[in-house]
Chain A
Amino acid sequence: AQSVTQLDSQVPVFEEAPVELRCNYSSSVSVYLFWYVQYPNQGLQLLLKYLSGSTLVKGINGFEAEFNKSQTSFHLRKPSVHISDTAEYFCAVSDDLTGNQFYFGTGTSLTVIP
């Protein structure tokens, strides 16, 4: 089974500053990587995914992430955050081609400070 580590449980950042949310996963032959965002009292929304190809993937709301196989990482970045980005962010991995099961990290709470 896969495991996912999100190193930072809470990340405060000032509005318009850049942010990086870190994610590391246990190695496997091939993995498929995802970032989800959860706003208060809402379900999880897919931000972006890496399945294959270019290691830099762009998602919604100006987020991007880079897959680094040698470091088994998939860090999420945004060059300039907005108040509306305040939410819980989850990194997830699947090692099954059919995606039957995702393994989620414990989440990073991003708080954007005005």
Chain B
Amino acid sequence: NAGVTQTPKFRILKIGQSMTLQCAQDMNHNYMYWYRQDPGMGLKLIYYSVGAGITDKGEVPNGYNVSRSTTEDFPLRLELAAPSQTSVYFCASSFGGQGYEQYFGPGTRLTVT
């Protein structure tokens, strides 16, 4: 199993550009999550999904959108990138939502200039 995979690993965007961060998992997990990690700030939940077709906002959803058309994929869309979105983005998945281990991908380092 590849686990949770994310692409790209690194990306530089100009202010106002858009992009999609890709996330896929091959563990047949129903729950998937997007976090952002800023230095010294821990991880903050952006969006999560409890199954295909179902998504909900986390703590910091502004400026992002998600979709979940399949169990395996959970892309994160950035519209009109801003410098405040410079961060490391992690996708995670879990079998269940109530206390089940979350498996994280390797991350995407995004810089907006």
Instruction: Verify that A and B bind, or say they do not.
Output: no
* Chain B residues near A (Cβ < 8 Å): none
